[in-house]
Structure 1
């Protein structure tokens, strides 16, 4: 009996450690979360002909989805002129409607004046049979979610494969007229945070899911041009999207910080300079050790070199080296850029990223882009007006 009594306190201590230690670790300050685009491993070409044919459920286009594939005037007749129009260099315009979490949505208008995508964040908009705020259990009752889709496009047959994480947090649903809907599920609440309608061309180029065969259809050669002019137009959309989602969970809004945006840009520039110096040293070494005549292909300039993606350590080293006096900063980094507002919604389906973006103690945020990379920095301080 005495032995049992002695073991009870030990058992209770172990139980408390099991519960509280992970909590302490997860609440550690200065979190940096890096999300990397996975590079596919070399493997044998997967034959799409071997994919079993499954008759998948096709939904009728109703509500706002019915404007997909139609001319832009169709959306104007119902919703009027957009609040803003963003001109992109990847073949379409982005029309912005609404300015809060109840009525915000974006319309992608192609060069042919056809609606090719609709991104909906607003809770009051008609997205039948789905809706923003719907629980995933209701989705399961309405639709069977499939892991594989076969798409014919431009004379080629493609297969889209969804991972388990895709099925749980951004499943794909087919509508009539080759229109698809991506349901963005919040990882914490298991409710739809946003819905994006896309045609099959936009879907294949979106780089959200794995597409086979991988023949470069998702590449955007002009993406760098768009990102060079991104700050002014995208700042408003990022701020609305981020704060709309925070407001949805009764969290205080964040203010946009020029200081933090410049800091994110400087982290990218610092790596650019470091990589440029390393590249120059390597080229000098190769020149001194070789008597061959240089060919045009052997002299690659820095802009053509593939920069390594940033790591957690890279960001930490920069903050320490430059003695940044931030109030408990949080950093979210990704080398997989699509649309900025879309990426924020996607981050809400990832546990670590979501915990940072919904941190109630954060006061401000800034961001920077480099190619397909994006970096968000948040902290507890307010920007002071002079």
Structure 2
């Protein structure tokens, strides 16, 4: 009897140890493989590593005069109305470069040009090429002005908008086109700008809000033209025809902009209208309001434009127009609106922190469509 009781006692102990072992000694999480289209990267929550600072990354935080001393004067200089200025380089699209200057110091550089200054990255490379050079991390925890922040990249972020850290405490955000999976631009930026733009999920800390300076009423033609150039530049990189610009398409975009503001009850649900108002009050990139495709089609109908022959985007608040367009082209949800192979006209209405983009089929394309019907 004693042997039976002893056996049962030992058996129960072994059984408990077997069941409780995973609780007290959990298995180490394995790395999850992220498969996204043509990309395959490792999703890991390990502390991120910094790569040596080189090229354009060395100029983040330096004075703008240091950059102009090395690369010459820009071809254009624009005021943003957001507390920063933009220096534009490159008459040719292949040489295009934007320098963001705040308080006389460079806070961001958006490089579309295939220059040695972007090394170890190069325009046209794929994510698999980057993965061979360095690890793509999903989590970035750091401190800015004594505040702790923790950023997490989702699967699509890692595949089309990965973040790279440099040892001078700056970052590079790589934009891959969603249609070609090729690198189209490298954006270098400091912590403040990253926390202002915040294209990722913020697990800890608060995004930095922004405010608009005193601006004249009406539409900003300079920003509108700049957005059109960036969109066409990205279309060229994708092997698509550029959009045509004419007076009618611009007027139609401005008309839709005004229609939306005057007739939102006919276009938005009460809940969506509240979301729009919230975005206006917050003035933060984490509260960006974007029209859904269905809402945009309603806008076209109210604006009396043929919705079968037009599409577009509306978003606010916009802190940096170029960064916003790059985000659209790297996003599976929005890229399709800009991927039509047909020739189309484009119009952009930009006012303060709000932007509406309208794409319409050209008259030739419309007539061919009607004949086929």
Which TM-score tier does this pair reach, normalised by the shorter chain? 0.7 to 0.9
Aligned-partner Cα distance in 1 for 2:355–2:329:
16
TM-score scaled by length of structure 1: 0.70
Aligned-partner Cα distance in 2 for 1:56–1:381:
49
Deviation for aligned residue 1:192: 0.8
Number of matched pairs: 306
Aligned-partner Cα distance in 1 for 2:63–2:195:
22
Corresponding position of 2:261: 272
Matches within 5 A, 1:18-167: 54-111=46-103, 113-167=104-158
Asked if the contact 1:327–1:381 (Cα under 8 Å) also holds between the matched residues in 2, the reply is no
- Say which of 239, 249, 259 aligns to 1:250: 239
Corresponding position of 1:238: 227
Asked if the contact 2:329–2:335 (Cα under 8 Å) also holds between the matched residues in 1, the reply is yes
Gaps of 5+ in 1: 1-51, 278-299
Deviation for aligned residue 1:151: 1.9
Asked if the contact 1:172–1:182 (Cα under 8 Å) also holds between the matched residues in 2, the reply is yes
Matches within 5 A, 1:166-185: 166-185=157-176
Asked if the contact 2:98–2:111 (Cα under 8 Å) also holds between the matched residues in 1, the reply is yes
Deviation for aligned residue 1:349: 1.3
Deviation for aligned residue 1:325: 4.7
Aligned-partner Cα distance in 2 for 1:326–1:310:
15
Corresponding position of 2:358: 377
Deviation for aligned residue 1:309: 6.0
The 1:235/1:89 distance shift into structure 2, 3 A limit, reads closer
Quick check: 1:353 aligned with 2:334? yes
Structure 1 stretch 261-270 or stretch 101-110: which is displaced more?
261-270
Aligned-partner Cα distance in 2 for 1:160–1:73:
32
Corresponding position of 1:199: 190
TM-score scaled by length of structure 2: 0.72
C-alpha RMSD over aligned residues: 3.3
Aligned-partner Cα distance in 2 for 1:72–1:344:
24
Corresponding position of 2:310: 329
Deviations 1:155-176 (CA, angstroms, capped at 9, x unpaired):
2111111111111110100012
Asked if the contact 1:327–1:379 (Cα under 8 Å) also holds between the matched residues in 2, the reply is no
Gaps of 5+ in 2: 1-43, 267-276, 365-373
In structure 1, the residue corresponding to 2:309 is in which secondary structure?
coil
Aligned-partner Cα distance in 2 for 1:308–1:208:
14
Aligned-partner Cα distance in 1 for 2:293–2:339:
20
